[in-house]
Amino acid sequence: MDNRDWQDYSVVLDELLDLELSPVAISRLEEPLLESSDKKVRVCRGILQAGKGETIQISKENNACFGAAWHMGFRKVDDPRTRGMIEKFVVEGEKLFSSYEALHNLVSQMGDVPDNSDAYFLLSPMEKAEFEPELVIFICDAEAACRILTLSVFIDGNMPKIKIGGPTCRMAITYPLVTGELNISFYDYTARKMCRVERDKLLVSVPYQRMPQIIESIDECSAGTAKVEYPQEFREFLQKRLTAGQEDA
């Protein structure tokens, strides 16, 4: 494919948002693109590696995180003892929830996980991606996240159903892929510490079908390059309020 719009999008958004790391293109493949390796990869770390220029392939064979095996749909956790062991680690080990009830409550809100047992997830810098991505992840600060969200809703005003809490891989990859919703993740706290995520960085996951809309909005939206303007009626209204305030004083 010669017309790789997503690569141009990456260049435009990198300059507009002054990104330190490349937008990360996520593609699900039925066959591996890269040769298999014995090196294990954590999804949360792989996102950062791709943002820094690497191309990472993750499947059930080289996934390094037991939690991600479930949250990415690589493996089902049907055995009650295994599930109980995982839950005990999350509640009593990681201490991310006050109780098992709190953990179950959050899990019930995260949505379904598809069967990706035969899938290969390819993570790469979007400007180098060989395939049209299904999802684009921005590793950015709060201001860039605000601008991406504003550009995304500029045309149709449809606010995404954002779900912030939960494991990084589930909320940054699985949830937006399943729902088609833009989502924001702060990284779960364990992943932040393990991957040494910079304090000002968070993740904005954008389903690729919304990317043309974001690009189209740049020239017309103030979150892009358009300048804020004050219509004559509004300027007159403000002037009257200012004058009235001075008289009252």
- The string of pLDDT tens digits covering residues 166-224 is 899 999 999 999 999 999 999 999 999 999 999 999 999 999 999 999 999 999 999 99
Q: Output the pTM of the full model.
A: 0.89
> CA 166 → CA 127, 149, 245, distances in Å?
29, 20, 49
Helix (H) or strand (E) holding 247: helix 232-248
In this structure, are residues 91 and 100 in contact, taking their beta carbons and an 8 Å threshold? yes
- Digit-coded pLDDT (tens) for 20-54: 999 999 999 999 998 877 789 999 999 999 999 99
- Digit-coded pLDDT (tens) for 53-64: 999 999 999 999
Which of the pair, 234 or 73, is modelled with greater confidence?
Answer: 73
> CA 188 → CA 111, 170, 244, distances in Å?
17, 10, 51
Q: Which residues contact 6 (CB under 8 A, 6 or more apart)?
A: 25, 126, 129, 132, 133, 136, 208, 211
Using a 10 angstrom Cβ sphere, with 0-12 exposed, 13-18 middle and 19 or more buried, the burial of residue 71 is: buried
Range of the domain at 57: 5-248
Q: Which amino acid is at 54?
A: E
Helix axes 5-17, 142-153, angle to 10 degrees: 130
Helix (H) or strand (E) holding 243: helix 232-248
Q: Domains in the chain: how many in total?
A: 1
- Digit-coded pLDDT (tens) for 129-151: 998 999 999 999 999 999 999 99
pLDDT at 245: 61
Q: Within 10 Å of residue 95's Cβ, how many Cβ atoms?
A: 11
Q: Within 10 Å of residue 98's Cβ, how many Cβ atoms?
A: 9
Reported as a pLDDT band with limits 50, 70 and 90, residue 249 is low
**Diameter of the chain by CA atoms?**
77
Q: How many residues does the chain have?
A: 249
Angle (CA) 210 41 117, round 5°: 70
Tracing tokens 């500029």 back to the chain, one arrives at 154
Kindly provide the residue ranges of all beta strands, DSSP E only, lying in 141-195, ordered along the sequence.
183-185
Reported as a pLDDT band with limits 50, 70 and 90, residue 1 is very low
Report CA 144 to chain centroid distance, whole Å. Answer: 13
In this structure, are residues 18 and 40 in contact, taking their beta carbons and an 8 Å threshold? no
Report CA 247 to chain centroid distance, whole Å. Answer: 51
